[in-house]
Chain A
Amino acid sequence: MPHRDAHTASLALRLALSFALVLLLGGTALALSAFAYGRQAAQRAYDQLLIGAADQIAGSISVHGGAVVVDIPASAFDLLALAPDDRVLYAVLDPQGALITGYDGLTLPASRFATAEHAGEPVRLIRVGRQFSERNYAGAVDVVVGQTTRARDALARDITRSALLAVAPFALLMAGLSAFAVRSALAPLRRIEAGLAAREPRDLTPLDVAVPPEIGQLVATINRFMARQVRQFEIMRNLIADASHQLRTPVAAMRAQAELAAEEPDPERQRAIVERIHNRAVGMSRLTDQLLNHALIIHRADAAPHDALDLRRIAIRIAEEIDADDLLLDLPEDEVACRGDALSLAEAGKNLVNNAMRHGAPPVTLAACREGGLAVLSVRDRGPGVPEALWAGAGARFDRTGAVTQQSASIGLSIVSAVAAAHRGALRFGRRPSGEFEAALTLPAARR
């Protein structure tokens, strides 16, 4: 199934993708911050050059006879030439904004630092003022120095690249650790796989593999699933064993009687034999029904989902399906809530009623009630009931040695017992103070 393959592949893939995403986002964030840091560091470094050059130019300004004289030192330009490929702009402006020396037409930056454009390239500008208060000259002379940004851009790239190169080994280490983490996180799954693969085909005992709690649920589910398989196997095996045993003896008897009838010359006696064959066939047909019913109900009780239901409704349904005039119903006014499979419960109840009608004494009463934490579906009659000595064992497995009629009662009880077990309940026998015999199916009551 390609669909299934895609799913199994996607687990490791999904983990890998998650890790890759985390690394990618982290790496991008790192690269961006490295770039921001690089830009800032480069900006600061080369701004220092501009400041130095501007200060040197400002320091070379003097006033001679009312005129400003600027004798720019070569060191100012040497300083700017430390950014070897960048163009240089500079101007010295008098307090009125007129050019004293340098490039004409430079706009005076409003703040200390500014960014402008020169001949199609961005320029970083700095403005430094120098105040003069001579007898014949007063006011602020402004020095503007600018430089294109090639060197600082290159330095920013360089810093970013170095930072990323320094971080790259850690990223690789992280990737390696992630791969290791993925492998070790998936290791319990591989242990389960190995545990299952190493089993004998018929070995359905619970898995015993040491796993972390997150995967313990999975193991528990697998074990529950296997336990159900075990029960189903058990049911099948019992059914086959019971059916073969129960049916073989009567079929052999019927064959013997049929042969007898064929050789019987007296028509009267022959008819009597046929009558017996018929009776036996009817009994066997009921037995077959019950056997199949048994298997079906037990399977269903185990497999069908349990719904919230009211035992009074189950009782009414049983009464309707049996449709006997002498069946009495004893139901409380309040709901008798529990969880279960309505069909299995109804079938178990019918078996109890049938048993009481067939083997007990009227009147037969079908009752539903709550007893503390239990929801109880019970059948009462005035007959002798099941002997007290057998109460404990009744219903566990029916007796294969008794007569057919007793067998059918026994099968009925075993159905009730199986249904009770599937509902985490029990089959209970008792004698009421009134002297009535009571067979009851008790289930855990649901909270109202």
Chain B
Amino acid sequence: MKYMVIIYGNQELWDSIDPAEFQQEIAAFDAFNKKFYDTGELLGAYGVADAAATKLVRLADGQPAVCDGPYLETKEYLASWFLIDVDSEERALAIAAEVPSAKARPVEVWPILHEASRETGVDMGVV
């Protein structure tokens, strides 16, 4: 069963962290990633760039129109996410609790519903 574990944050929050502490935080995340890559449960760990680098694409009369900024006018944005594959929801929650930043801020755990197959389903038996 796959889950997405999501951390939210914003620039203000990252700026408020003391640089030495920030290094520790990064090391803690590296250790977290290694630990769960090694167990074969972490499929990927990703972080987004600054919100300032975000572009928004809309279609205007069928033509893409690009402008700056995230879609939502929220205080906190999607910052990092982890894709995990585990035996149970219990296990997903236990891993989420080990995300280093969980000490300070909550993390979200979303079960993954849809995973589009790269193949046409022939191998998967829905014939």
The answer on A and B forming one complex is no
